[in-house]
A and B are shown apart, each in its own frame.
Chain A
Amino acid sequence: MTKKHKKTLCRILAAAVMLAVLSLVDTHRWLLFALHLIPYLTVGGDILLKAAKGVKNRQPTDECFLMAVATIGAFAVGLIRTGDFGEAVFVMLFYQTGELFQSIAVRKSRRSIGALLDIRPDYANIERDGVLERVDPYELAVGSEIVVQPGERIPIDGTVISGESALDTSALTGESIPREVQAGDTVISGCINLSGLLHVRTAKEFGDSTVSRILELAENAASLKSNPERFVARFARVYTPAVCIAALALAVLPPAVRHFCGLESMWAEWLYRALTFLVISCPCALVLGIPLTFFAGIGGCSRVGILVKGSSCIESLSRACCMAFDKTGTLTRGVFGVREVLPVQGVSARELLQTAAVCESSSSHPIAKALQKSAPAPIDRTEISEVTEKGGMGVSVLYRGKKYTAGSLRLMESMGVTVSAPPYSGAAVYIAADGEYMGRITLCDTLKPNAADAVAQLKRAGISKTVILTGDTEQAARSAADGAGIDEVCHSLLPEDKVEHILRLKRCAPKNRTVVFAGDGINDAPVLAAADVGLAMGALGSDAAVESADIVIMDDDLGKTAKALRISKKVMNIVRQNIVFAIGIKLGCLLLGAVGLAGMPLAVFADVGVMVLAVLNALRALNTKNV
C-alpha cells in the first residue's frame, strides 16, 4: 500500500464510523442532511473536486462526474421524499472502497508481472589495478573485459576469457537446468552466474545486448493492441454516453407519461432509478480486465521462455489453423548423423565407418564431424599422412600403407571408380581404397527428440495442417516429415519460394484463421514476416529473427510452440469470459435498476465489484507453468 492508499483508507474508515453513528440519530430532516454532509465530504471530497475539474475542461462523462451527480441526486431524493441520506454516503463509501481495492490489486499485479521481466543488470564489474570497480554497463565499449562474480547477472553479451561456471538461464529460457560454461564459450546477458568467477570479453554494447533487446520488446509489447482491446476501447467510448442518455430518459419520460395518464407521477422514484444508471455507467471493469489479461499472458509466457511482442500476436496465434516449419534447426537439430551404412560385399559396416572417419579426421566440415563422431574405434592420427583435399569434393589420405579416398559421387567417377550403389540425392560420402569402391555412408540431419511429440501436441491444440518448408532435398524433407508426423512437404525451396508458399497457405486458410511459421530465423526473416504469426526458435542470438518474428522462443525446444499455442488459447478464453461477464452483469444491473429492483448499492457492485473479479480472473493468465 502506498501513502495515498493509506490516506484513502483512513478517510473511508472515518466516514464509515460517522455513518454508523448517524444511522442511530433521528432529528429534523435538514439537520440530518447537514450532518450527513460531513462523512460524505470526508470520503468523497476529492471526487467532487475532480468532477468539477472535468466540467471545467468540458469532459463531463468522467466517472467522478457521474458519481458526483448520482450521490448529489440521492441527497436530493432524500430531501424531497424519503428523508434517508445514508444511501448517498454509503454509495460514495462503497465506491471509494472499490477504487482503493482495485488500485491495490492493479499495483500488485503490475509488480508481479514486472518481476518476471526484472532481468536488467544495474552494473558491470571491471578490474582496475587489481580492484573491482562497478561501472554503468552503458559506458562499456565493445571488447572490454568485465568480471562476473557468482550470484551476479551477466550484464553484456560476450565470450568467456577465463574461468568456469554454471549459468542460470531460466530468466531467459525458462530452462531450469544450469548451463556449464568455460573459456571460449559465448555467454548471453541476463543469465545469472551461479558458481565460479568469470572474466568475459564483451561482444556488444549494452544497448544491443540480449537483455536490453528483450526488455525493449517487453516494454513495447503493449503498443500492439489486439482486436478485443480495440473493441473495449470503442465500446467504452459509446457505452458511457449511451447510459447517461438512458438515465436522462429514465428520469424524465416515465414520470411524464404517468403524469399525462393521470397517474401519480413518482418523480423521486424515477430519479432514483436514473441515478442508479449513472453509477453503472463506468466501463472500467471492461477497460481494465481485457488489457490486464493480455498483459498477464505476456508475462506468463516470458516466465517459460516465450517472448511475445504484443497482445495482437497472442490473438493471432490463438486462431492458428496451419503451421509451417523450417526443417534444419527447427524440426531437426541442425547436426548431421549417420543415416545408413552401405558397404560392398567383403567389407563390414564397422570397417567402412572407421575408414570414413580416418579420411575425414582432419576436416571440420559438418559432415566430416558427424563421421568423426561415429567412428567405432579411436583413431591414431600419427598413422595418417599425405592428406589431400580434392577441391570441395572429398579428401584422400595415406593410412597403413593404403590410399583411401572419401568424397562425392563425382569424385569417384572422376577417379574412374565403379560405384555399385542405388542413386541417392541427399548427403552421402563414397569411400574407395586404392581405387577400389568400398561402400557408401548416407547422412542426414537428426530430428529433435521431441519433434513428433510436439507436432502431435500442436494437432491436439487445434492445428489442422502441418507443413515443412525447406531448401533441402525431397528425401531429407520426407524423412523428417515422416519422423515428426507432418502432413505436407515442400522441398528444394529458395527463401523467396518459402514466402510464396506461406502466401499460398494464407490464401487457403479459412476466414479468421491464421498461418504460423516456425523457423530458426537465421535466413528466414522474410518468411517470419510474411506469416500471420512468425515464431523464431532458439533465436536469442539472431537479431534479424528477433526483429521480424512475433513470438520468440528463447531456447530451441519445439514443445514450446505447442505450449505457446495453448497459452494463447487460454488467454483468449479469459478475455472472452471477462468481456461477457463484465458486459453481462452491467446490462443485467441496468435492467434491474430500470424496473426498480436494484438499488444503488448493487449498482456500485456492478461497477467496482465486477472490476475486482475481472482483475482476479485476468491474473489466471499468469499461471503458465502447467498449461
Chain B
Amino acid sequence: MNALARQVRAVVWPLVGVAIVLGAWQVGVLISGVAPYLLPPPTAIARAMWESRDMLASAMGRTALGATIGFACAAAGGILIGSVIALIPILRRSLYPLATVLQMVPVVAVAPLLQLWVDNGLPMAILSAAIVSLFPVLAATIDGQASVDPGLRELFQLSRASLLSRWWKLDLPWSVPATVTGLRIAAGLAVIGAVVGEFVSGYGGVRAPLGIVIQAAMRDARTDLVFAAVALTTVVGFALFGAVSLVGWLLVRRWHASAVNETEDRR
C-alpha cells in the first residue's frame, strides 16, 4: 500500500465533505431566500473575511496568543500537579474524583468571577483558557501514571529505584499517550476558554480579539462577519489541536500502539 496515496485520500475525502456542505448551504440560502442577516451564504462570509482581512488577522493573532499561552500553562500545570497527585496515593484517592468533577464546571459561568481576579484583556483570556484546559490534562495525567504496568513497577522496585527516578524513567514516559489524549482535548477547549474570556473582558477597538469581533459584528447585524470570525476561531482551535497531535505523534510514534500502524510498513 502506497503510504502517500493513503495520506492524500485521508485529506481529500474530508475536503469533499466540506465542499458538499458548503455547496448545499449556498444553494439552500439562494433557494429559500432567507435574509442574509439571518444566514449569509458561504460566498458572503468569504467576502467579509477578505474585506476585513487585516482586522480579522490581528484579532485571530490575539485570540491565538491567549489560547496558546493559556494552553501552555494548563499543560505544564496539569502534568506537574497530575504527577504529584498520581505519585501520592492519598492525594490520588481524594483528588482524582475532584479533578474529574471540575472538568464539568462551565467556564462561561465562572468567567465573570475571574474578572475580579485578573486584568481585562489578554490576562483574562489566558486565565479562562488555562482553567478549561487544565482539568482534562490533569485527569489524563493522573489516569496515565496510575495505570503503569505493575510488572514494570516491580522492575524498578527490584533495583530499589527512588520515587523520583521511577517517575522520571517510568511513570512519565508511560503516561505520554494518555496525557497527549488529554492535551488534544485541552487544545480544543483552550480556544473556547479564550473566546469566553474575551466575551466578558476582551479589549475593544484595534486590540479586539475574535471574541469581541463576534460581539461587535452581532450588534451591527453583520452576520457574515460573525460567521467569518467564528470560522477563524475554529481555525485557531484546529491549528492548536493539530500542533499538539503532531508533537504527541512524534513522541510516541516509535513505540506506542496508537502510532504503530505507521511504522508497520517499515518493518
The answer to whether A and B interact is no
